[in-house]
Amino acid sequence: MSTRTIIEGCTQALVPIVPEDQPLSISLASVFYNPEMELNRDISVAVIAAYSELIASHKELNLSDITYVDALAASGIRGLRIAKEVGINVTLNDWNQDAHDLIKKNTELNKLNEKIKINLGNANVLLHKERYNIVDIDPFGSPTTYLDAACNSAINMLAVTATDTAPLCGAHLNSGIRKYGAVPLNVEYHSEMGLRILLGRIARDLARHEKAMHPLFCHATRHYVRAYLDIKKSAKGADKCLKNIGFISHCTKCSCRSVHYGLAVSIPDKCGVCGHQTNIAGPLWLGPLHDKGFCNSILEQLNKRELGKKEHAVKLVELCKNELDVPTFYDQHLLSKKLGISAIPMEELLKELVTNGFEASRTHFSGTSFKTNAGLEGILDTLRRFR
Ligand SMILES: C[S@@+](CC[C@H](N)C(=O)[O-])C[C@H]1O[C@@H](n2cnc3c(N)ncnc32)[C@H](O)[C@@H]1O
Ligand SMILES: [Zn+2]
């Protein structure tokens, strides 16, 4: 395998050379490296640094006592960065022999032999055998086949990437139902739908292990969703956590939504505003996506580091921190189009909603979207004032 050297953060790595005209998905390279995921890894470094400092101080541990595993490591770039840039104890696993050999070379290249353990094997076998403070699942496509083992292994934090956005967002409905045991809807807030379907799946997988989750920071960015979850072992905590699971009822005619908490719950099948038939999504996570205090710790970490995607990362975390904690967003362009009015600057709309006594914020999901605690009628009344 021919390789080239790349630098992310302050870590070097050998990665396979992929011919420029060849999509990564059908790449002949035997080890996977996706430069598009640098932002994801920059954020991971900041999140895991913030979190490791937190548990080290709570439990009076040294950073090197904290264990992290990337169970699907490929070139190892993610875990190499965590070992070098955070300084915790890292395990890198992959079942591919070429990946294993490349991880070894990359570990030596960065002089990280003391900090990194390398394992050649099936991720699920490793995660059912060993427990780690922080478990990272970063697969091709859906993470669902690793979640049971990951939920077993994670002591303090679970970090999960999903790149199967079509099943998650309802574009490939049956695949979503098979993988996530939930019905997603392909609506204007499909990116948030995908994130909440994934979180609902993880909360139920953790509950089987009598573990509760508290989302620290979760985002949907281009072709993937990513979640960082604080984990606590507690049957009662898991019961409480499941209270955040429920359904969204969505009217396809007027775009009105209502949320319904619980697994066995009655959901009206007619829209409360226009009387049209509604569609139902779920079970999914209706609880918070971010911990605002923790977002500040991520920002501190981002700001003091040399990172290739720093500016983008800071912007994303800021947006998430300020996002209103309600389960769905509205798309301003779509609503304006329905009303036959032209779109207005987002800041003006948010200001007007606040003036009318509502809470309102931008979202990280898209530049034209906003969140508010106003109902659909309140939003439409506000928009009509700009006619
Ligand atoms: C998307 S890549 C990982 C990318 C890496 N985490 C990063 O940040 O660059 C997924 C990797 O999982 C490995 N893999 C797939 N199924 C596996 C399994 N059941 N056990 C161990 N490794 C597996 C593949 O060989 C591949 O290298
Ligand atoms: Zn309606």
User: What is the SS3 string spanning the chain?
Assistant: CCEEEEEECCEEEEEECCCCCCCHHHCCCCCCCCHHHHHHHHHHHHHHHHHHHHHHHHHCCCHHHCEEEECCCCCCHHHHHHHHHHCCEEEEEECCHHHHHHHHHHHHHCCCCCCEEEEECCHHHHHHHCCEEEEEECCCCCCHHHHHHHHHHEEEEEEEEECCHHHHHCCCHHHHHHHHCCECCCCCCHHHHHHHHHHHHHHHHHHHCCEEEEEEEEEEECCEEEEEEEEEECHHHHHHHHCCEEEEEEECCCCCEEEEECCCCCCCCECCCCCCEEEEEEEEECCCCCCHHHHHHHHHHHHCCCCCCHHHHHHHHHHHHHCCCCCCCEEHHHHHHHHCCCCCCHHHHHHHHHHCCCCEEECCCCCCEEEECCCHHHHHHHHHCCC
Ligand 1 pocket: which of 1, 45, 68, 72 to mutate (most atoms within 8 A of CB): 72
Predicted local distance difference test score (pLDDT) of residue 43: 98
Among residues of the chain, what percentage have pLDDT more than 70? 98
* 261 Cα: distance to centroid of ligand 2 (angstroms): 20
Q: Whose CA is nearest to atom 10 of ligand 1?
A: 139
pLDDT digits (tens, 9 = 90+) for 26-70: 556 689 999 999 999 999 999 999 999 999 999 999 999 999 999
149 within ligand 1 shell (Cβ under 6 A): no
Instruction: Enumerate residue ranges in the chain where pLDDT < 70.
Output: 22-29
Per-domain residue ranges of the chain? 3-322, 330-384
386 within ligand 1 shell (Cβ under 6 A): no
State which ligand 1 atom lies nearest to the alpha carbon of 94.
22
Predicted local distance difference test score (pLDDT) of residue 24: 61
94 within ligand 1 shell (Cβ under 6 A): yes
Predicted local distance difference test score (pLDDT) of residue 127: 98
49 within ligand 1 shell (Cβ under 6 A): no
13 within ligand 1 shell (Cβ under 6 A): no
Predicted local distance difference test score (pLDDT) of residue 30: 86
| pTM (two decimals) | 0.97
CATH of the domain spanning 3-322: 3.40.50.150
CATH of the domain spanning 330-384: 3.30.56.70
pLDDT digits (tens, 9 = 90+) for 114-173: 999 999 999 999 999 999 999 999 999 999 999 999 999 999 999 999 999 999 999 999
